[in-house]
Amino acid sequence: MDLINFNKHWIKEYYYNFEKKRNYYDKMIKNIDSKYIDLIIWLRRVWKTTLMFQVINYLIKQWINRDNILYYSFDLWNEIENVINDYLRVSNKDILKDKIYVFFDEIQKVNDWQNKIKIYYDLYPNIKIFLSWSSSLFLKSSESLAWRIVITNIKTLYFEEYLEFKDLKYYLDKPRLYEKNLILEFEKYLYRQYYDIINSNLFDAKDYVFNLKNKIIKEDANDFFNVNYPELLLKLFDIVAANPWITIDYHNLWNDLNVDWRTIQTYIYYLEESFLINKVYNYSANLLSSEKKQKKAYLNCSSFFSWNWEISWELFENYIQNYFDFKYFYRHSKNEVDFVWVTQQWKIYAIEVKYRENIKKEHMKWLSYFQKKFKVDKKIIISKNVDEIFWDVIVVPFWKLESINMNN
C-alpha cells in the first residue's frame, strides 16, 4: 500500500492548497482536542475531503509532526486494520504512546466500520479520529458508537459562503446600497450551490449538477442500498426535481409509473437517506399523527431544480426549506401555510415564503387562518427585499435569514 500518495503532507513544507474556508471549519478546529470522533456527513462535492485537508494544514501549523497525521480514502477499498498497520510500520509510531490523528474518507465503504472504529477508539486513547460519510443511515445504525461521536452535516454552500468565495461578501455590509447586485447574485447562486460552479455559465452549471445527480444515484445510492431498479430511482428524483414541494402520493405514483406502491415508498426512502430529498409533513397539534398525514418532497439542494432558468417561487421556497430544514407545512382544504416550525420550547412559528418586492395584507391571510386554529407565537414572511413589520407579522428579506432566531 503506497500511503505517500494519500499523505502528501508527509513531505517537508507541503501544504494542501485550500485558502478559502467554509463555515464548518471553525467547528472542526474547536473539536480538535476532544476525544470524540468527528464525523462529516453529506453529499459528494460539498468539501468533506477539503475540510479534512484544511484541518491537516491546521495541525501542521500547530507544530504537530507531519507523520503523526494519517489520511486515507476508502474510495480505494481496503480494511481499516490494514491501513493502520501499514501506517505504523512505515512511520515507526507507537499507537499506545504517540498522539496520532487519523482521517478516514468515505468510511461507509468499509463493512462493519462502526465496530472496527470503536475498537481503536476504546483501546487507543491517543488516537483522534475524523471520518467522512455519504448517507444519513449512520444516524440510524450507530449504536456501537453512541456517545463517542460528534456529527457535522455539511450542506451545499450557503449564500454568505458563495459571496465570500466570489469576494463579494461586502454586499451584505450595505445590502440596500448593493440591493440589485445582491438579488442578481442570489438568483445566480440558487443554481450554483457547489463551489466548482460558482463562476460557471448556466449551461455548464446545469451540466455539472446533472452529472453529479447521476453519479450519486447510479453509484453511491445504488452501491449502498443495492438498488434493483436504478432507473426508477432516477425517475422518482426527476419527478421531485421538476416539482419541488410535490405532495407524495405513493398510489398515484404507482398508477403513473406502473410500479408497486411499496417499491415506490422504499425508493423515496432511498432518496431521502442519500441526502437528495427532504420530506416535510402536514402539521397537526399531535406531532406523531403529523407523520401519518400528507407529505411533501423538497430537493435537498435547489441547484437540482430542473425547470426553466427563471427564478420561481417554487425554487425560492425549496431554498428556504433547505436553509432552515423545516419539518412541517400546514394544509387544510384550500388553506395552506408554507412552513410551521416548532421550537424546543414548543413555541409555534408560522412562515410564508413570498419572492416578491411588495407584501400586502392579502399575503398574510393564511397566517391569520392558521392563527385561528393554533396558538401561534410568531408569524413570519420571507420576502425578496421587504424588511418591515406589518401589524404582528415580521417580514424579512432573503439576505437576513440569519436574523430569524428559530429557537427563541
The pLDDT tens digits of the residues spanning 347-394 come to 999 999 999 989 988 889 889 999 999 999 999 999 999 999 988 999
Interval 85-106 mean pLDDT:
96
Residues 387, 238: one domain? yes
Q: Which three cell numbers stand for residue 192?
A: 450554483
β-pair partners for 281: 295, 328
Of 136, 153, 170, the residue at which a domain comes to its end is: 153
Mean pLDDT on 203-209:
93
In a domain, 203, yes or no: no
> Which structural domain range is residue 365 located in?
227-403
> Which CATH number is 81's domain given?
3.40.50.300
Whether residue 149 is contained in a domain is answered as: yes
Select from 134, 153, 172 the last residue of a domain: 153
Residue 282 in domain: yes
Query: Across the chain, what does the average pLDDT equal?
Result: 90
> Do 261 and 388 fall into the same domain?
yes
> For residue range 280-307, what is the model confidence (pLDDT) as tens digits?
999 988 776 666 678 999 999 999 998 6
pLDDT single digits (tens) 10-29:
999 999 998 889 999 999 99
Residue the block writes with cell 476532544: 34
At residue 237 the predicted structure's pLDDT band, cuts being 50, 70 and 90, is: very high
pLDDT number for residue 47: 92
Indicate whether 258 and 380 sit together in one domain.
yes
pTM of the shown model: 0.91
The DSSP code sequence of 118-180 is: HHHHHH-TTEEEEEEES-GGGGGS-GGGTTSEEEEE--SPPHHHHHHHTT-GGGGGSTTTTHH
Tally of structural domains, the chain: 2
| Cell numbers that stand for 100 in this block | 496520532
> Is-contact 161 22, C-beta < 8 A?
yes
309: pLDDT strictly greater than 80: no
Beta strand 328-332 with 277-282: parallel, antiparallel or unpaired?
Answer: parallel
Q: Determine what percent of the chain is predicted with pLDDT higher than 70.
A: 95
In a domain, 298, yes or no: yes
How confident is residue 132, by pLDDT bands cut at 50, 70 and 90? very high
